[in-house]
Amino acid sequence: MNYPFWNVPHIGSAWVIGIIAIFHMMIALFAVGGGLYLVMAESKALRDHREWLPVIRDHSKFFLILTAVFGTVSGVGIWFAIGLANPEGTSTLIHNFVFGWAIEWVFFIIELSTAAVYYYSWNRISDSLHVKVGWLYAISSFLTLVIINGILAFMLTPGDPWLAVAGTGQEASRFWQAFFNPTYFPNLAIRCLICASLAGVWALVTCSRIDGQQKPELKTSLVRWSAKWLLPTFILLPAALLWYLWKVPESQRALLQLGVSTIGTGAFTIVTRVMLIVMLTSVTIVAVTYFFALREPLEFNPGHASAVVFLALIATASGEYVRETLRKPYVIGQHMYSNSVRVKDVDRLNAEGYLTRSLWTRNGGATQLEKGEAMFRGQCMACHTVYGYRSMKRLIGERDRKAIESVLAMLHDYKPDSPYHAYMPHLAGTREEIDSLAAYLATLNPPPPTDEKAKPKTAAASAPAPKRL
């Protein structure tokens, strides 16, 4: 632990990132797709639907506020959260991609300025110049995705060339290989499709507010044209997802397979259930769009539009959850575990100690329980909380000290056939540190006090204990 630990009670720090990231995704991907939507809608309106123009202008105001205010604030929020929750991983990304980030900021500046110019220059500059500003926006915002996608995909699949030099100080020499890593293109394809559908989803919100009685033609044509933005996703997304999964390393897919093969047994079905949610919400979005927006555009009201936004939110959230889970137990695939321990460092930490090399535990923890708690914070709390989400108290359950020790031994030995291999990191530390962790974990569910008293002390008491009621 080179950094202090951020303890978020009940939900854990990963969910803070998750919640901010889900909102950010809904807005940031809309910022990319919506830019293209605006300029294409405007071009079409100028050709043969001039009555669309006031609606598009309204939409561009909504777009500017949502993306420039909420998009940028939530984007900074992600930096805030990842910097606190996983400083070591964040630092690796920054060091590796420093020029990538620099380029990203350039595109952000162009994107934000052109979004403002686009909105404020309606009817103030010539139509053709206005459309050019729209294209400049659309292209620069697409380029922000092109850059960030390399860095996000890298976290799941850094690729062999980068892994070969990881930790040597030569990482930057593999910038391009790391950037165009194995899942770069399928990830980009999936994101482009989501951008297009979010452009449609948010456009339907604006369209749903058009009064269909007064302007039936306007509403019909615009609702239908906007609804079509959802189509490419539903035709191509399954193929893009398969392409993506095909590029994900076997070891990461193991978790999904574990999820699928345990359907019904309740052991580890959460990923599977979440995948089902993604599918069900997607199918419902298609159904609502088809039956309401395409077939009965005049009836399409803000209630329907909100339902589509809500479903899209759930689909995005669930999709992100699956993507995050796929990466477990790593924050940077095969290189750094979610708890910031580098795979290469485990042997050294086993020999020299985990806490002894930690800058942020006082005296390496004074008592055994303090040591155990420090181990728990450092190596387990990236994914577990004590009492809340993925609660350690609940997962330890009835296990006594011996049973806890055997779980820890499995995590420490980390044999390839261990089921924990698919989702938990290699537990690092000396014998003594691991014992401290076991001692600490055993305090989470203290045995009922009656058991202590029932311990055989005298000959009479060594008779079988009476059955507990």
Minimum CB separation of residue 217 from ligand HEC in Å reads 54
**Which sign does the torsion angle of CA 183, 189, 195, 197 carry?**
negative
For residue 384, state whether it binds ligand HEC (rule: CB under 6 A). yes
Query: What's the CA gap between 66 and 202, in Å, rounded?
Result: 10
In the set 21, 374, 383, 444, which binds ligand HEC (CB under 6 A)?
Answer: 383
With contacts defined by CB under 6 A, name the span among 116-124, 134-142, 148-156, 380-388 that binds ligand HEC: 380-388
With contacts defined by CB under 6 A, name the span among 167-175, 221-229, 350-358, 420-428 that binds ligand HEC: 420-428
For residue 407, state whether it binds ligand HEC (rule: CB under 6 A). yes
**What separation, in Å, do the N-terminal and C-terminal C-alpha atoms of the chain show?**
46
Place of tokens 């070969």: 164
For residue 414, state whether it binds ligand HEC (rule: CB under 6 A). no
For ligand HEC, the closer of residues 74 and 385 by Cβ is 385
Minimum CB separation of residue 434 from ligand HEC in Å reads 9
Query: What's the CA gap between 192 and 186, in Å, rounded?
Result: 10
Backbone angles phi and psi of 467, in degrees to 5? -60, 130
For residue 196, state whether it binds ligand HEC (rule: CB under 6 A). no
Minimum CB separation of residue 329 from ligand HEC in Å reads 4
Nearest to 254 by CA among 422, 424, 426: 422
In the set 427, 439, 442, 444, which binds ligand HEC (CB under 6 A)?
Answer: 427
Cβ contact 191:220 at 8 Å? no
For residue 329, state whether it binds ligand HEC (rule: CB under 6 A). yes
For residue 377, state whether it binds ligand HEC (rule: CB under 6 A). no
Backbone angles phi and psi of 341, in degrees to 5? -75, 130
Which residues fall within 8 angstroms of residue 126, CB to CB, at 6 or more apart? none
Nearest to 320 by CA among 285, 274, 267, 253: 274
Minimum CB separation of residue 397 from ligand HEC in Å reads 7
User: CA geometry: angle at 416 spanning 411 and 418, to 5°?
Assistant: 50
Amino acid at 195: C
Per-residue b or e along 282-320, where b marks 16 or more CB atoms closer than 10 Å to that residue's CB:
beebeebbeebbeeebeebeeebbeebbebbbbbbbbbb
Half-sphere exposure of 355 (CA within 13 A, CB side): 25
In the set 3, 122, 389, 423, which binds ligand HEC (CB under 6 A)?
Answer: 423
Minimum CB separation of residue 327 from ligand HEC in Å reads 9
For residue 27, state whether it binds ligand HEC (rule: CB under 6 A). no
For ligand HEC, the closer of residues 183 and 385 by Cβ is 385
For residue 395, state whether it binds ligand HEC (rule: CB under 6 A). yes
Place of tokens 């329980």: 369
In the set 425, 426, 439, 442, which binds ligand HEC (CB under 6 A)?
Answer: 425
In the set 92, 269, 339, 361, which binds ligand HEC (CB under 6 A)?
Answer: 339
What does the block give as tokens for 245? 């999964």
Minimum CB separation of residue 429 from ligand HEC in Å reads 9
Amino acid at 116: A
Amino acid at 319: G
With contacts defined by CB under 6 A, name the span among 32-40, 94-102, 130-138, 382-390 that binds ligand HEC: 382-390
Place of tokens 């045995």: 447
In the set 253, 390, 393, 401, which binds ligand HEC (CB under 6 A)?
Answer: 390
How many residues touch ligand HEC under the rule CB under 6 A: the total is 19
For residue 49, state whether it binds ligand HEC (rule: CB under 6 A). no
Write out the residues near ligand HEC by the rule CB under 6 A.
268, 328-329, 338-339, 379-380, 382-384, 390, 395-396, 407, 411, 423-425, 427
